[in-house]
Each structure stands twice: as C-alpha cells, then as structure tokens.
Structure 1
Amino acid sequence: MASYITVDSGTTNTRVSLVFDGRLIDTLKFGVEPKENESRKDCLTRLLRKAIANVLEKNKMQETQISRIIASGMITSEIGLIELEHVKAPCGVKELSENLYEITIEEISKIPFVFIRGVKYISDDNVDMMRGEETEIYGINPKANTLYVLPGSHSKLVLMDNENRISHFSTCLTGEMIGAVANNTILKGCVDLSKSATDEDFLQKGYLFAKENGINSALFKVRSLKKFSRTDDNQTLSFFMGVMLACEIDNIVKSSAQRVVIGGKNQLKDPTAFLLKQNSRKEILTVSEEEASNATVIGAIMIYENSLL
C-alpha cells in the first residue's frame, strides 16, 4: 500500500499529514505568517519545506518512501502555491480525479505534488465556490440526496445529488461573524468563545428571538441579558449562539434534503444539531470530531487513487 503526505491548506492554518501503509501516523500544523518583505507564497513554500522535512525525519522516513504529496484547499488559490481553476458543479470523485494537477516543486521537495482543484457553482441567481471542502466531503463517505453542513469560519451547506455528486452549495460567514461580533463590538466581554454553548433552553430562545426580531435587535439583547438579568455565562453564550446560527439554521430547514449530516468541531456542530432537531422534521446526523478531523486526509487519498483506476 502506497504512502502519502497530504496538505490541507486553509486561509490561516495548514496541516501536513503523513499516511504510511494506509494509516495516518502523524500531523503537523502551522500558521502562515510572512516575515518582513516576504510574500505569502514564499512563506508558504518555506514552511511547507520545513514541515515535510520534519514529519519525515520525526518518523524516520525518506522522501523516496512517499508516493505523492496530495494538496487541497486554499493552496490552489491566489493566496496559495499555484492558482488553479475550479471544477464546475455538479461534480463527484470522478470529475475531481480527472482534473488533478501534478508538478514537482523542487524548492519544497523532490516528491511530486498532486493538487486537487476546488469546486464552483454557477446558476442564474447564485455564484459560489469552495476549496478544500470538496475533499473533506468525500472523506466522510457521503450519501446521495443528503445535505452536508460543514461549520467553520466559512460554513458550507453542500447538497449531494442522486449520483453522489456535489450538486450545489452555499456559504455562510458564520464562524468569522461570530468571532467578529464577539470580539469587536459592544458585546466584547459579554461572551467567552473559549467555552461551549450547552444550555439548550437559551440556544432555542436566542434562535427564536432572532427569527422574530431580527439578528440586529437580538444581538443587543445579549448585552441586556448580561447586564440586567440573572443569566449565567453559559446561558448568555448559548443565547448568543442561537442568534448567530439563526440564518444558517433557516437555510438548512429550507433545503429539499430530508437528511442532514453535520461535521466540523463540536463547538459549532452541537448547537447546530440541537437547533435543527428542535426546529425541523429532517433526519439529523453528526460526524464525530475525530472522523471530521481526518476527513480531508482520507478524501485526498481517495480522489488521487481514483485517478489511477
């Protein structure tokens, strides 16, 4: 069985994983922070070279033992190593495999790189794109006619068609907006995002208040709760999360899919799952945090090995 290094590159962080004989044995994570007068591309090149060398040395392996470096995510964008065109939806493993881009980047490694392109969706009234989520989706063994929710800085709602292809999708700025509102408005100090929102009653109250009064009014209600009521920190955070998730929940409820699978980290996954179970009749399933964490590695290898068939 072949051994690989996978690179999962996000907007801020990059993960380099070593897969030996079908087993994920190590992962290194780093942020891309260019030095003075250093371009982002040069910084990413330098840090990738170091991470790949480190993960091999740590596990007593040589470059010659690795078949390919399989890379996905923002590494194929204008802020990555090589900007590549998206594959147009609908698309599945077949289309992604047929559009791989292979190149050796000597400044980083003698191991050949294989880049997985992102996906774009274009209709008469909507345009959207993803880089990385397509690989993550196929790493969690997706089912046909199912809506996949991938919470994060930019949450993706991805609908699979009856051929198990990515049919269409939309993006919400959920995670980034949560951080921006909590840390850069009058609500700073009202909620602690290092904690998890676990009060289900206040999650539902926040969601319903936002639906009835709008998010703008609902957000100031968070400050009022903190200042004048007897709510504890968990209740205030839970109300806030209910408000911030309201639009995303409503978009999911409107979907034609009757089965919804939620991935991502527990901090966003758990309140999303609870609110959907409370406010829709859909079948709601969740992916474990470990499975979600490994999904991009599994998906990257699956897409590459499909190209060999």
Structure 2
Amino acid sequence: MYIIIDCGSTNTRLYLVDQEKVKDKYEVAIGVNSTVSNGNNQQLKLTLTEAIKSLLNQNKLSLHDVDFAIASGMITSNLGLLEVPHLIAPVNINDFAQHTCEVEGNKVLPIDLPIIFIPGVKNDIGEATWDNIRKIDLMRGEETQAIGVISSMSLTLPATIVELGSTTKLIHINKEGAIAGSITSLSGQVYAAVRKETFINSSMIDSDSNTQDFYSTDILKYAYECVSKAGLLRSLLFTRFIQFSLSTTAAERKFYCESTIAADDMKLFDEAEEQGFSLTGDIIFIGNSKRCKIYQGMLKETKAIKNNIISITNPEEIAMLGIKGACYIAKNYTHEHCI
C-alpha cells in the first residue's frame, strides 16, 4: 500500500493505493504557489504532512501500513519539497522507473515515510542559446499523465498528447513509445486572465444565453483568419467590438474568444513538425470537453488533419491517467536513494 502525491500550483491531491487500486483520496488547497507567497516551503511541508495523516486516519491506518509515498508535479521543482533534475528526452517509461529519487522518512517531511520523486522531462536542445530558445520546453507532472496514457492504451505511434489545462502542452510520443519532447503555450492562463482582468469578459456574459454548449464552424474559421492576419491580441479585442457591430449573442462572442486562443495555439503544431515531431499517428486530447472540441475542429479545418483522435474529458478519467502513471512507476522503480 502506498500514497500518490499529485502536487500542482494551488492544489494537491493524495490517493491511497492498494494493489494498484485507489482506496481513498484527500485534497488540500495548497501547492507550490505557497512557497512563492511565503518565501519558503514550510507551510507546504506542514500541510502535506497533516494531509497524509488525515488520509491515513480516515482509513484507520497508521504509517506502518503504507510502504512509501510517490510524488510528481511541481513538488519536484525548486518551489516544492525537493528539486529533482529533469530527464532529457527521449525518455521511455522504464527510464522513469530507473531514475526516480527515493528519500528516506523525515528527510523532506517531518514524517517517517519514504517518498519517491518522479522526475520531469525537458527537451534535448544541447546548449541553450538565444538562437534556439523556441526549442526549449520542459514538464513536471505531465510526464506521469503521459506514462498513464502510454502504459494503459493501445496507440498508433508516433502519437501526440495534447493536454489542455492552465497551459496547452503537446507531448510527442515517438515510434518507440518514448516521450520525445514537448511544446507548451500559456493559453489557458491567458484566457483566464482575459476573463478576470479585462473588460472583454463583459461581452461574454448574458444570463439569458446558454454559452456552454454553443459551437459554430463558421465562427471557428473567422477566428482563425483574424488571428492569422491581425494577431491574437487584436483578435481578442474583436470580442468586444462585435457586440456593438454585429447581431450576436453572448454565446457566439464567448465561442469566438475561445476560438482565437485555439487559433493561436495552432502554431504549436507547426512548431512540432518543424522540430521533427511527427503528427501521423493518434492524437489524444486531454481536458475540458468543449475546449477539446474547439481544438479538434480547428485542427481539422485549418490543418486538414485526419488522424484518429481520442478525447479524454471526464475529470475522473483524467485523474486516473496520472494515477496509472504513478502506479506503473511504483511497481517498477529501482530503490535508489538520492539524499
């Protein structure tokens, strides 16, 4: 029996696992952002320690009943509990099992429980220079989700995983089934900032309009054309302009705004091909169902992609990918202490 720790920027999820099956989970509203705001990771350490104890207590277990915890995500960064060096792509799923970082109890948390840290992955670009900054990319946490995909699904390789969250991240899986690299944009956070911090949001709100399920191929194409010719920032502003210039609903304007973000992200696929990432196999979209549909439609309309497309949009299924990845590593890891 062991505990999976999935630590992000603002939230951390803990899963109690027995025989590769989740028995219980516990979530706390803290992540590595607390290290930034506090100037140290003490609050993160204390909260995670209490969360582990709470998870065990609610299952009437003690520390002696679990063998270890296994952690991934930003918890392995300089803002987390222990900075673990990235592995350099390409990395196959068994490489992760051989390069985990095991820490004895009481070393990073004030609790007698060994913790296994899963390293992230960065692109192999050689020496970083201003000339090659477009090739720089890295991940922490997404690799574990990718391992869950690779280890549990039968894919046509090479494949591309498209993770749509606070960032958009393309992860290339080469024909050998290894993580060969990634390309990331800040699209999710940009959209959130537009909604929260700009007046554009007022053009997307209407209590009489259902904005959630609206979809329009025509608006999708117009959004792509606007971004291609006028750029993303000006195209975002059109969300406001069309409210007073065209007969439109809030649903149409919201869809247009979302489509401009997706249109700009189409450059990621161009970058992927330029960097040698083949787009000939399966494409797996992971994220919000509406956002996945917009990106898939944008790809088909603008890139003429006819690949087999797989969508994973159920939140529980998405969470299970990371769990499956961590379970795979937990089952195969080699005991190697790093501190």
The two structures have a TM-score, normalised by structure 1, of: 0.90
Match in the other structure for 1:163: 176
Equivalent residues in 2 for 1:170-181, closer than 5 Å: 170-181=183-194
Match in the other structure for 1:261: 284
Instruction: Summarize the Cα distance change of 1:67–1:268 in structure 2 as closer, same or farther, 3 Å threshold.
Output: farther
The DSSP-based 3-state class of the residue aligned with 1:150 is strand
Q: Which amino acid aligns with 1:113?
A: I
Q: Which amino acid aligns with 2:214?
A: T
Match in the other structure for 1:208: 225
1:70 aligns with 2:94: no
Partners of 1:191 and 1:51 in 2: how far apart? Answer: 39
Partners of 2:59 and 2:221 in 1: how far apart? Answer: 48
Gaps of 5+ in 2: 127-131
Match in the other structure for 2:129: none
The DSSP-based 3-state class of the residue aligned with 1:206 is helix
Equivalent residues in 2 for 1:5-154, closer than 5 Å: 5-32=3-30, 34=34, 38-106=38-106, 107-123=109-125, 125=132, 126-141=135-150, 143=155, 144-154=157-167
Partners of 1:306 and 1:204 in 2: how far apart? Answer: 47
Deviates more, 1:288-297 or 1:72-81: 288-297
Contact 1:15/1:29, CA 8 A, preserved across alignment: yes
Q: Which amino acid aligns with 2:193?
A: A
Contact 1:197/1:271, CA 8 A, preserved across alignment: no
Aligned length: 306
Contact 2:89/2:181, CA 8 A, preserved across alignment: yes
Contact 2:165/2:188, CA 8 A, preserved across alignment: yes
Partners of 1:281 and 1:130 in 2: how far apart? Answer: 26
Alignment RMSD: 2.5
Q: Which amino acid aligns with 1:223?
A: R
Instruction: Summarize the Cα distance change of 1:71–1:184 in structure 2 as closer, same or farther, 3 Å threshold.
Output: same
The DSSP-based 3-state class of the residue aligned with 2:199 is coil
Deviates more, 1:8-17 or 1:181-190: 181-190
How far is 1:34 from its partner? 4.5
Partners of 1:232 and 1:92 in 2: how far apart? Answer: 48
Match in the other structure for 1:291: 317
Percent identity over paired residues: 26
How far is 1:12 from its partner? 1.9
Instruction: Summarize the Cα distance change of 1:158–1:229 in structure 2 as closer, same or farther, 3 Å threshold.
Output: same
Contact 1:128/1:171, CA 8 A, preserved across alignment: yes
Deviates more, 1:152-161 or 1:256-265: 256-265
Q: Which amino acid aligns with 1:123?
A: I
